[in-house]
Amino acid sequence: MNGILNILKPTGMTSHDVVSKIRKITKIKKVGHTGTLDPNAAGVLPICIGKATKISEMILNKEKTYIGELTLGIQTDTYDSFGRIIDKKDVIHINEKEVYEAFEKFKGEINQTPPIYSAIKIKGKKLYELARAGQTDVNIKPRNVFIKSIEIKNISENKILFEVTCSKGTYIRSLCKDIGDELGVGGHMSFLLRTSSGSFDIKNSVTLEEFEEASNNGNLEKYLFNIDYPLENYKSINIKESAYKAFSNGNVVYKKGLITLNNYENEELVKVYMKDKFCGIGKIIFIDERISLKSYKLFL
């Protein structure tokens, strides 16, 4: 079995828990997720099975969209509602105009420090392991992340519901904490739902219960997406059957072995097909100004 599942992860499960559950249901060992989702968050978690695990990194690099809730005036050590409250401030003086202005400042490229209660590793140790051991003075390096869009959906007293689309590696908990700090009253993330991850949307997701039921009915593959599904932004190229062996062995396929030709750029990655079968990802190379193709990642 090879393909990608769009799992709707429930709260209370780690991404690794979901992988373990899928392994148990499918009886397949080669299963992997495409980037962790907080245990206390729910939402879209693409799971790669079999040969599709080779494409997990490309899904991980895609932008994500979340629905989140920021609660102002209450700060926690984990930056979410499951942590220990470390500070409280009155928010009655904060008006909606100030809230909108604060959110506006976090659009585009921003510098963000991940929370100490996270799975990031420092010297082989996960940050949350260090935090639980009482080592809270760890020097966590800030990182550049990109907030493509952030829109306030509702404001009710000290709670702000918002939707954000962002780059990989963005911590919504840190975003909530930073906006609270910008307003001078602190804050934490009180709710998080991931609604999309690259091509995978919550509308076409499946629960673990639904997937297990399909397994019991011998109909597992109804929920599997093809391996090439997340590569919708890649151009396609078809190779001749006679060129298949050369491509699969990592050799250069010259123009005479190519069928469909578009306007490609040198070193551009493309989806490669042979008789409508997805073979893998290739890299366009120009040799003496003539187009050629070399395998980049195989799914044979």
Q: Does residue 194 form part of some domain?
A: no
Give yes or no: residues 83 and 185 share one domain.
yes
Q: Is 276 noted as a catalytic residue in this protein?
A: no
Query: Do 162 and 147 form a contact (C-beta atoms < 8 A)?
Result: no
Q: List Cβ<8 Å contacts ≥24 apart for 135-144.
A: 136/77, 140/113, 140/114, 140/116, 141/113, 142/111, 142/112, 142/113, 143/111, 143/112, 143/113, 143/114, 143/169, 144/109, 144/110, 144/111, 144/112
pLDDT digits (tens, 9 = 90+) for 261-299: 778 899 999 999 998 889 899 999 998 888 999 988 887
Question: 3-state class of 58 per DSSP?
Answer: helix
Q: Considering its fold, how many domains does the chain have in total?
A: 3
Do 54 and 132 belong together in one domain? no
- CA dist 184 and 26 (Å) reads 50
Q: pTM value? A: 0.88
Catalytic residue, chosen from 38, 80, 178, 228, is 38
pLDDT tens profile 210-227: 999 998 888 888 899 999
In whole angstroms, how far apart are CA 241 and each of 227, 283, 286?
21, 18, 21
pLDDT tens for 18-53 read 999 999 999 999 998 887 888 889 999 999 999 999
Type of residue numbered 85 = I
Which residues is 284 bridged to in the sheet?
A: 293
Same domain, 225 and 245: no
Name the residue range of residue 79's domain. 67-189
